[in-house]
Amino acid sequence: TFSMGLNMPARTVVFTNIKKFDGEKSRWLTGGEYIQMSGRAGRRGLDKKGSTILMFDEKMEKDVAKAMLKGHSDNLLSSFYINYHMLLNSQRLEDIDLEYILARSLLQFQQDAQLPALKQQLA
């Protein structure tokens, strides 16, 4: 539940198992999954730090442990898109500025970040 974004403050997060069943097989947590779950430790504004406890029930290779503990977070890609339903609903509501919403969306931010590379390819 911690990896699914449950907003529950905790000073300490305890991993009783660091493997996950992905629908087909049991595998070690990825770096992004570990970061997401262990990041729940420490209550903002209340605790100066949080603690994470790992309980191992089997041997883990050093490179697997390093990838999990020092790995990078997963990339976030926007799935935002405009469809007819959104446009029609926006017409029902007053004071909705679609241009304002679009300009501040994650999708627009990600597209703006790609512009320098695209301009360089065209040059």
Structural domain spans, the chain: 2-69, 84-122
Q: Region 24-50: what's the mean pLDDT?
A: 87
| pLDDT tier at 116, thresholds 50, 70, 90 | very high
Entry pTM: 0.60
| Residue 2 zone, left/alpha/beta (φ > 0; ψ -120 to 50; rest) | alpha
pLDDT at 3: 56
Give kind and range of the element (H or E) at residue 15. strand 12-15
Helix axes 62-69, 31-38, angle to 10 degrees: 50
Q: Region 62-82: what's the mean pLDDT?
A: 87
Closest CA to 3 of 11, 121, 123, 19: 19
